A and B are shown apart, each in its own frame.
Chain A
Amino acid sequence: MVILLLLVLATSASAHTTLVRPRTVADLQRSIDRAQPFDTLVIAPGVITGSDLTIGKPLTIIGRKGAVVDAAMKGTSAIFVDADNVTIDGLAIRNVAVSFSTDNAAIKVRKRRHALIRNCRIDNAVFGVYLSDCKQSQVVGNRFTAYYSEQSKAGNGVHCWTGRDILIKDNVIDGHRDGVYLEFMHRVTVTNNICIRNLRYGLHFMFSDSCSYRRNRFEHNGAGVAVMYSSWVEMTENIFEDNWGVSTYGLLLKDIRDSHIRGNTFHRNSIGVYAEAASRILFDRNSFTGNGYALRMLANCDDNTVRNNDFVANSFDVTTNSKDSRNHFDRNYWSPYEGYDLDRDGYGDVPYHPVRLYSLLVEQLPSSVILMHSAFVNLLDVTERVVPTMTPETLIDHHPRMKPLSP
């Protein structure tokens, strides 16, 4: 322990801060090669042309305001991080070349620990930050902007493939393929990010257990957010808004188990939550407003709990493709609910069936969707509500709230 402390003191005592004024990446590469481990290089404002910079030792690289690495659509990735404990702070990186054989990124880190990428502005890159097999790293406060129109050319804003303990925080990711992409990750925290106008998903999440994402905003993404094949995921206080289109979701859940979805807002999505093979998930205190389908839960979902949520002004509140349901709905607020509350405990005395007869019809006969909003269908729904015959009997809220939780 004492030796370790001495080592830390020794290294920090010998660390130097150097101001460099490189014109090209080759100049910067020479400065990096001359520097001692744990030194700090401060880059003066100015454009540095070139790509394929390799940071091969633990360094802190700070870009002053106006310091830009311009890859000029040539080479592969702009910066390779090939050491542990590398910090890149405040640097701007732009114009990374598109390639169909290598995944070119503004900053690419492979098999390293303690990378910190902070306050960078990454403009027109294929991939923004690419973490492959990294641990204990952070991507904080960056801004990613890309301008692709085709998914096949574009890369992801923050791309993590294999690894654990990553923090992705306070980033703005605009116009990439996926805003944040996580695959085979553990214990990733994604907080306070804004993912907008990404071509595919705002957040794409595969085979990543024990991750949490909270207070993010996902807007106008091609297909919303997809969470697939994962367990123990915490999704809290995110905002899913305006993800509207034929096969677009606010949140797509596929093969998810033992997760919590709390306090999120789903507003104006064509499908708020689409759940397929989701089990033991708790939906608590979410708000679903103005969606086409608020919650679409397929027959292979079981043992999910949906409680204390607000369902307001959705075209369909809950839809399913089965006649029975093994999920639990309780104490939600449903805006179409027309029951009464004689004992004044705040919960309606008549149970509520959130599945409309018409939604079942559309399920089985897609072309009957042309009768949407017609008088006959409204009549049918009223009849079914009075005398339920076809809607799932077990999909029922015994304590529908009289007032929404959030006004």
Chain B
Amino acid sequence: MMTRLLGFVLRDIARGRWVILYFGFFLVATEGLLYFTAGEAKTVVGLMNIVLMLIPLAALMFGTLHLHHSRDFIELMLSQPVKRFTIYSALYFGVVLPFLGAFVLGTAIPTAIHGMLTSPSVLSLLATGVALTLVFFAIAFVVAVKINDKAASMGMAFIIWLASAVLYDGLVLAVTVWYADYPLETATIAMVAANPIDLARIIVMLTFDYVALMGYTGAVFQNFFGEALGITVSALSLGLWTVIPFWIGARAFAKKDW
């Protein structure tokens, strides 16, 4: 049942051409950066900025929009003897898988052509991009299920993006200013690990030599994230950010009175 539903959703997504556009964008952006920027670090930083900004934004926007547009399909399916969890999962993976494919191929093909695919920074970028896609589609679905009005849920999605991609860092900076007299390394690690976008940024940055510029804090970070504990914490944080919203969304979906 799950696979058949997944097939319907995938076919629907494929008709929309958004995925093609998304794929094309990553292809052009990656190739452009590789072509115009000298040095691996600079290219990866440019690409990282795109990934960290665009993937959450696209996932949140498209995720909420798609669920609202699928209302007819959802109502039709709900009238059938199918478990609600199955429908929700099919909707989620039906959207996530094409976008993941588009991102991974769009980034991997140019980097492979330039012979950089196996470099740790590119691999970590791909991994964090995949994680961010999973996380922010899950969040988008929660928003779309909880808020019935399309415009309102789009607005909410945008606010979530603004908060996590931009404002959160402002808050981190404010905290470091307020508590400048205290040793903040552990606190900043906790704050960074709590936000998937920041976590993704740090994971990618630690793969290239930028750590040397980060002085003492950088050394603390590398010690933490380079060790088994840090890797576990990062994976756990990104995993929880995917599983918990997915679970909340699935529950709300199951209980919702359509």
Contacts and interface: CB of A to CB of B under 8 A. Distances in A.
Interface of A: 244-246, 248, 270, 290, 292-293, 313, 315, 361, 364-379
A313 B169 contact: no
A365 B180 contact: yes
B42 A313 contact: yes
A367 B214 CA distance: 8
A293 B215 contact: no
Of all A-B residue pairs in the complex, the 10 with the closest CB atoms, nearest first, are A376-B169, A292-B213, A270-B212, A369-B214, A367-B184, A374-B169, A367-B217, A368-B176, A375-B166, A365-B176
Contacts of A376: 166-170, 173
A368 B173 contact: yes
B187 to A, nearest CB: 8
B184 A293 contact: no
A244 B210 CA distance: 10
B192 interface: yes
A367 B176 contact: yes
B217 A366 contact: yes
Contact of A248 (B42, B166, B212, B214): B212
Contacts of B49: 373, 375, 378
A371 B198 CA distance: 8
Given A290-B39, A365-B177, A372 B210 contact: yes
Interface string B145-157: 0000000000000
A274 to B, nearest CB: 13
B205 A372 contact: yes
Contacts of A246: 211-212, 215, 218-219
Contacts of A379: 166
Nearest to A271: B213
B166 A313 contact: no
B213 A315 contact: yes
A377 B198 CA distance: 12
Contact of B53 (A290, A368, A375, A377): A375
Contacts of B39: 290, 313
Contact of B201 (A365, A367, A373): A373
A367 B188 contact: yes
B79 to A, nearest CB: 44
B48 interface: yes
Nearest to B172: A371
B227 interface: no
Interface centre among A315, A361, A370, A374 (most CB of B within 10 A): A370
Contacts of B215: 246, 366, 369
Interface in B195-226: 198, 201-202, 205, 209-219, 221
20 contacts: A244-B209, A244-B212, A246-B218, A246-B219, A248-B212, A293-B213, A366-B216, A367-B184, A369-B213, A370-B172, A370-B202, A371-B169, A372-B210, A373-B201, A375-B53, A376-B167, A376-B168, A376-B170, A377-B169, A379-B166
B38 interface: yes
B185 interface: yes
A374 B45 CA distance: 10
